[in-house]
Amino acid sequence: MVEVTVTPQSSLADRPVQIRVRGLSPSQLITLRAWLKDEHGERFQSCAFFRADGAGEVDPGLHAALGGSYSGVWPMGLFWFLQPDTLFRRLVKRDVAGSPFRVRVEVFDGLCLGTDPKEQPLGSCEAERWYVGPGVQRVPVREGRVRGALFLPP
């Protein structure tokens, strides 16, 4: 059984996470895909192709991506290279304190280029990426023409 994990499962958006895939055949070619929907329902996704090591594992922090949205060793590549399905969209988080981005990470057998809904992932998991830590207070700032927010730690 193929297992995909993101550790930690819930983290701040600027903190690194570790993605691991276990339970593959040695030297198996796979596609790792990450995707999320923003607050407007727009989908952003990235993918990378990997070859499993001798133990049947893939770790993007140790193993080089062979292609896809990026190539080489990028531990956070699946998160950093998210691209919109609709051209000219930007990934923006408006509700920074109320909810996280929920990023789905899926693994597919072989090279998987499209988003065919018939394709079933071998395994998947979900990671939460928060923009404000627990206990942080948001204070709106309005002074003359200045608008902004001050985030105070607990």
What would the pLDDT profile of 103-148 be if each residue is shown by its tens digit?
999 999 999 876 666 788 999 999 999 999 999 999 999 999 999 9
Length of the chain: 154
Provide the pLDDT for residue 117.
64
Q: 3-class DSSP state for residue 80?
A: helix
77 contact partners, CB below 8 Å, separation of at least 6: 46, 48, 60, 65, 69, 70
What does the alpha-carbon distance between residue 115 and residue 139 come to, in Å, rounded to a whole number?
41
Domain 3-152: CATH superfamily is Acyl-CoA thioester hydrolase/BAAT N-terminal domain (2.60.40.2240)
What does the alpha-carbon distance between residue 80 and residue 2 come to, in Å, rounded to a whole number?
24
Low-confidence ranges of the chain (pLDDT < 70): 114-117
Q: 3-class DSSP state for residue 2?
A: coil
Instruction: For the chain, count helices (H), then strands (E).
Output: 1, 11
| Residue 90 neighbours by CB distance under 10 Å | 8
Q: 3-class DSSP state for residue 18?
A: strand
Provide the pLDDT for residue 119.
82
Domains of the chain: which residue ranges? 3-152
Global confidence as pTM: 0.89
What does the alpha-carbon distance between residue 60 and residue 6 come to, in Å, rounded to a whole number?
11
